[in-house]
Amino acid sequence: MSTLEVKDLQVSVRTEDGPKEILKGVTLTIGDGETHAIMGPNGSGKSTLAYSIAGHPKYDITGGSVLLDGEDVLDMSVDERARAGLFLAMQYPVEVPGVSVANFLRTAKTAIDGEAPKLRTWVKDVNTALGNLDLDPTFSQRSVNEGFSGGEKKRHEIAQLELLDPKVAILDETDSGLDIDALKVVSEGVNRFRAKDGKGVLLITHYTRILRYIQPDFVHVFVAGRVAESGGAELAEELEANGYDKYVSALR
Ligand code: ADP
Ligand code: MG
Ligand code: MG
């Protein structure tokens, strides 16, 4: 069971000129087993929403709430959020020089489960997850994200998703910079996750392309820090045809 409720979330970022309000009251509920797509123009606050839910220190929550199965997420540390079952695949994954993929994954899994995974099955699980994403077993010896291609970064994020098995996955532009083969492999990974019982997905994207492979239950148009429109998968088709203009100009 998993439900993520975002209620009237207001968020500011600290800038040199003082706080800048970015999210202006975001409300959405990802019900048990649902996939929601958030689509919106650059700068509309999509990544801010993802980071705020995940607990990035750069963002100040000025109002509203985020609940995971009724528990207040905003009260939790970043680690506690991960242990509670939240996962964030970042738009720009960070490099961790000197830390191998194998060590990184094992440390993350241990932190989330509260105990180290059993070595024999773990190595097999890691190799399976990497193989599912078309990554070679030797990939696990590379430093996290160091010198990874755009596609390798995104495949690695989805391999993490498979291994860490959260309740709710927030995927921020997991499709950006992927060629068609990588897009398919990554989408298949997300669909495997979705096929499990009660998993929630918040799929943030700029383009409708990935939604041909991952069909959302709901689509939200995100403009200027707010949800401007919500609908079913057909809303993505409407956006594909007409773009965001209608929603952007409605704000002028
Ligand atoms: P999106 O992911 O939809 O492209 P972002 O959440 O990255 O949007 O950014 C939303 C807005 O917040 C943008 O106008 C961006 O310039 C601004 N913003 C984000 N982080 C900062 C920051 N550290 N300093 C100043 N402005 C920021
Ligand atoms: Mg962007
Ligand atoms: Mg973004």
| 75-81 contacts, C-beta under 8 A, 24 or more apart | 78/54, 79/111, 81/53, 81/54, 81/55
Beta strand 96-100 with 86-89: parallel, antiparallel or unpaired?
unpaired
Percent of the chain with pLDDT over 90: 89
Ligand 1 contact via 45 beta carbon (within 6 Å): yes
> Model confidence at 216, in pLDDT bands (50, 70, 90)?
very high
> Model confidence at 143, in pLDDT bands (50, 70, 90)?
very high
Under a CB-based contact definition with an 8 Å cutoff, are residues 175 and 209 in contact? yes
Side chain identity at 161, as an amino acid letter?
Answer: L
Q: Which fold has domain 4-249?
A: Rossmann fold (3.40.50)
Ligand with an atom nearest the CA of residue 92: 3
User: What average pLDDT does this structure show over 222-235?
Assistant: 96
User: Is the pTM here over 0.80, yes or no?
Assistant: yes
Under a CB-based contact definition with an 8 Å cutoff, are residues 56 and 41 in contact? no
Ligand 1 atom nearest 40 alpha carbon = 3
> Model confidence at 1, in pLDDT bands (50, 70, 90)?
confident
- Residues 6 or more apart whose CB falls under 8 angstroms from that of 14 comprise 20, 58, 60
List the one residue out of 93, 76, 92, 96 whose CA is nearest residue 84.
76
Q: Please, what is the Cα angle at 229 between 67 and 71, to 5 degrees? A: 0
User: What are the domain boundaries of the chain?
Assistant: 4-249
pLDDT, tens digit, for every residue of 11-63?
A: 999 889 999 999 999 999 999 999 999 999 999 999 999 999 999 999 999 99
Residue 100: what pLDDT? 94
Ligand 1 atom nearest 172 alpha carbon = 2
Phi, psi dihedral angles at 122 (to 5 degrees): -65, -50
pLDDT, tens digit, for every residue of 150-173?
A: 999 999 999 999 999 999 999 999
Tell the residue nearest (CA) to atom 7 of ligand 1. Answer: 47
Ligand 1 contact via 22 beta carbon (within 6 Å): yes
Residue 160: what pLDDT? 96
Written as six digits, the tokens of 105 are: 């994954």
Which of the listed residues 44, 91, 175, 207 should we mutate to test ligand 1's pocket, taking the one with most ligand atoms within 8 A of CB?
44
Note the helical H segments in 10-149.
46-54, 78-84, 101-113, 119-132
Ligand 1 contact via 46 beta carbon (within 6 Å): yes
pLDDT, tens digit, for every residue of 70-87?
A: 999 999 999 999 999 999
